[in-house]
Chains A and B, each alone.
Chain A
Amino acid sequence: MPGKPKVAFYWCASCGGCEESVVDLAEGVLDLLDAIDIVFWPVAMDYKRSDVEAMPDRSILASLINGAIRNSEQEEMARLLRRKSRFVIAYGACAQLGGVPGLANRFSRDQILEFAYETCPSIQNPAKTRPQPGSQDAGRMTTLPEFHGLVRTLAQVVQVDYAVPGCPPTPALLRQAVTCLLDAEPPAAGSVLAPDIALCDQCPRKDSKPMDLRPEAFKRPHLIRLDPQRCFLAQGVVCMGPATRGGCEAVCVQGNMPCSGCFGATSRVKDQGAKMLSSLCSNIAASSEQEIDRILATIPDPLGTFYRYSLPGSLLRARVSRQR
């Protein structure tokens, strides 16, 4: 079957959920295989890095790469696939925004290694051994990839043409993304291949969203009975819907929990966390600074709330704590 477009899937610092989202096409996977040739998918198929290296540059139509970039091996693979592909797609929140593992940018590389290998309560490591890029054992040399100081988005490492958002993306969005890449007219460069509207517009609870939100305090979801019909913001629970792109089919809300923002922002918003913060803070029902402080203190973890998936790709990007 010569002539079928070639597509590659690859994973970097990720959890495997994006791979599962491809598999959740279920019978649709067969349609996918009719339309394209998968030339690289290490998790599923028998192609090697050396097979990719042997391909002519730009001979792959599209590489869908999920996961953030946390180590040297991931960076090398991203660069290799960029060279071999016409389009590189950041697939899923980690590749697009940094994702949940991007919250590690709040901590230094050394803090992470020290806890994992020295101070965690179950560790027994008096010699303070740590994994090494190269180590010797009776003359035998073993190597490991270098653990980088920061988590980066894919676009901070290579040029990225499109993004498919979500943690993970839905099978429907994947199907649409592949279809539009096969079109004679590919989407505009830089597009996010999902609806460019806020989640609130698609939310089954949008009728109960207050026109004028005047929060007096925020409530943590485990401490109140969650009304299964009413807008979470109207219940005083932080919901990222107003600052988050739609396209997920509001699945978390249908599980009776608020949106946590995994689809990132719409094209009109530069920084998802700042957008949500400003829209909440500008409306809080406070008449004094102390009152403002009191209300904002009811959000105990602004970073994890507003930047849960987007810290590496945000304006903040990273903060390395000097305190232990």
Chain B
Amino acid sequence: MQTQRITIDPITRLEGHGKIEIFLDDRGDAERACLQVPELRGFETFCIGRPAEDMPQITSRICGVCPTAHHMAATKALDDLYQVQPPPTALKIRELVYNAFMLEDHALHVYLLGGPDFIVGPDAPKELRNVVGVIQKVGVDVGKRILAMRRRLRELIAYFGGKVIHPVFGLPGGVSKGLAPADLPCVRQTAADAVDFARFTLQLFKDVVLKTDAYLALITSEAYTHRTYYMGLVNGRNQPDFYAGKIRVVDPTGNEYANFPTQHYLAYIAERVEPWSYGKFCYLKPLGWKGFVDGPESGVYAVAPLARLNVADGMATPEAQKAYEEYVATLGGTPVHHTLANHWARVIEMLQAAERMRELADDPGLAGTEIRTIPTATPKAGVGVVEAPRGTLIHHYETDDQGLIRKANLIVATQGNSARMAMGVEKSAKALIRQGKVDDGLLNMIEMAFRAYDPCHGCATHSLPGQMPLTVSIRDAMGRTVRELRR
């Protein structure tokens, strides 16, 4: 019996393309699967020689879907590099913008990318398993409300950032632009409406997903479960903080494994190279690389919403805390190891982001005029870390004494999930592919195994009928196509 493979090519990834290779054993059962990243642009190298103050704008070009995350991580690295403390108003502006960004980015995933799998259904007709189906389900008025809220949040980001795609406002020690007092009421209205919108989203998730037993069974099924470590930023009370904090890591039983200042990341995080992907795989350095396996001996960890809630003792805002308690009770306590629970955790994070926006908008200090501290120290090295929507994002620069980059190390959010994502694809493939039999439902189920992690998969499906183009070719050992399925 010859070896068979199933190639899913292309799937569409955040920054280009992705491919899945599934290898079948003699019985036609899946025995190995690789999620491959076929692209590299080399940012770390071509940042060398650039002035450090250009990093927020240069590194935002890593991702046009999450530019604000890179912009902010870079800006914070510059604060550290120049040992400069931004004035309170500047910090409030940064955090307001950051929470607005977190909310709009999460909303897109909930409504347009991952959400259709639940709002419409994982085995719904494929023509409807997209935003068109979502709008049919929730109504045109709600669909318009989603688009309008997204636009207003992005307008708020652009107010401060100049551009929403690749903002320009981050400087070491502050921001380039403050808030005109006359515009404060508008900001407050947007923040208040953002809270309503997040509440509505949480209710929709409960009505559609949690009231359907089959969905809950799917979320908690073993095919989508991995018992790994988790990582995320927390504040002093061990609550999720998207903008700042220490990095906390919990083990698969939920006990604290590490809690460290971001500057110490190299003691805890290492990256592995595989010859079959341009993407690198992060793991916990003290535990070492034990392969694509879970459990307490393996250094594999996860980031992003599920992980952030797993490393936290609770949420930072009151309504999000209530939602968190229901989530924990329903799923049987923390840590939650179910990959698909990322969808629920994301909605809870939306509520925290919106509530935090409202707190900041209600703070009279937001419209202060002191928005810059001019750096005076000689630069040497700086680390900046934020929680991107997809997880812990690390920028680390070393410069000469003129502030020109000598070395840059970037650990992007998706890398934190890359090992677990590859494991998820493999595990779902093993659970679903038997005796070489595949169909369209299977393709979507495999897609769901990694879509849950990455709201930027197919970022432009935001407002168009979207699903990832998949082709499965079953080939024999000579590479001849035996069978091809497509949708």
Which chain A residues have a beta carbon within 8 Å of chain B's beta carbons?
A: 9, 11-27, 29, 33, 38, 41-50, 67, 70-71, 73, 99-101, 103-104, 106-107, 111-113, 115-117, 120-125, 129-132, 135, 137, 139-140, 142, 144-145, 147, 167-168, 220-226, 228, 251-257, 260, 300-301, 303-304, 308
Max count, chain B CB within 10 A of own CB: residue among A17, A45, A107, A222: A222
Let me know if B487 and A251 touch, CB within 8 A.
no
A223–B78 Cα distance when bound, in Å, is 12
Contact A131 B271 (CB under 8 A): no
Contacts of B167 in A (CB 8 A): 255
Whether A17 contacts B67 by the Cβ 8 Å rule is yes
Q: Within 8 Å CB of A33, what residues of B?
A: 464
Residue in B150, B374, B396 whose CB lies within 8 Å of A121 = B396
Task: Output the nearest chain A residue to B484 by Cβ-Cβ distance.
Answer: A50
A16 with B65, Cβ < 8 A, contacts A122-B269, A131-B278 known: yes
Q: Give the residue of B53, B409, B456, B471 whose beta carbon is less than 8 angstroms from that of A48.
A: B471
> Is the beta-carbon distance between A16 and B461 smaller than 8 angstroms?
no
Which residue in chain A gives the minimum CB-CB distance to B50?
A304
Instruction: From known contacts A26-B150, A123-B280, A223-B375, infer whether A48 and B469 are also in contact, taking CB-CB under 8 Å.
Output: yes
In the complex, whether B338 has a CB less than 8 A from a CB of chain A is no
CB distance from B411 to the nearest CB of A (A): 6
Are A73 and B17 also in contact (CB < 8 A) when A43-B460, A300-B402 are?
Answer: yes
**Bound-state Cα–Cα, A22 to B64, Å:** 12
Measured between beta carbons, the chain A residues less than 8 angstroms from B67 are 15, 17
Please report the C-alpha to C-alpha distance between residue A73 and residue B19 in the assembled complex, in whole angstroms: 12
Closest to A145 in B: B38
22 A-B contact pairs sorted by A residue (CB < 8 Å): A13-B39, A14-B64, A17-B63, A20-B65, A20-B460, A23-B459, A29-B464, A41-B464, A42-B12, A117-B273, A122-B266, A124-B271, A124-B272, A135-B275, A140-B5, A144-B276, A144-B278, A222-B173, A223-B375, A252-B168, A255-B160, A300-B51
Identity of the chain B residue whose Cβ is nearest the Cβ of A228 in the assembled complex: B177
Q: When A142-B21, A167-B61 are in contact, do A44 and B41 touch as well, CB less than 8 Å?
A: no
Is A135 a contact of B404 with CB atoms below 8 Å?
no
Whether B173 contacts A50 by the Cβ 8 Å rule is no
What distance in Å separates the Cβ of A82 from its nearest Cβ neighbour in chain B? 19
The residues of B with any CB-CB pair to A shorter than 8 Å are 3, 5, 10, 12, 14-17, 21, 23, 32, 34, 36, 38-46, 48-51, 53-54, 57-58, 61-65, 67, 78, 82, 126, 144, 147, 150-151, 154, 158, 160-169, 171-173, 176-177, 265-266, 269-278, 280, 282, 285, 289, 372, 374-375, 396, 402-404, 407, 409, 411, 456, 458-469, 471, 486-487
Contact A221 B53 (CB under 8 A): yes
Complex Cα distance A62/B303, Å? 40
Question: Given A44-B461, A46-B467 in contact, is the A100-B172 Cβ separation under 8 Å?
Answer: no
A17 touches B165 (CB 8 A): yes
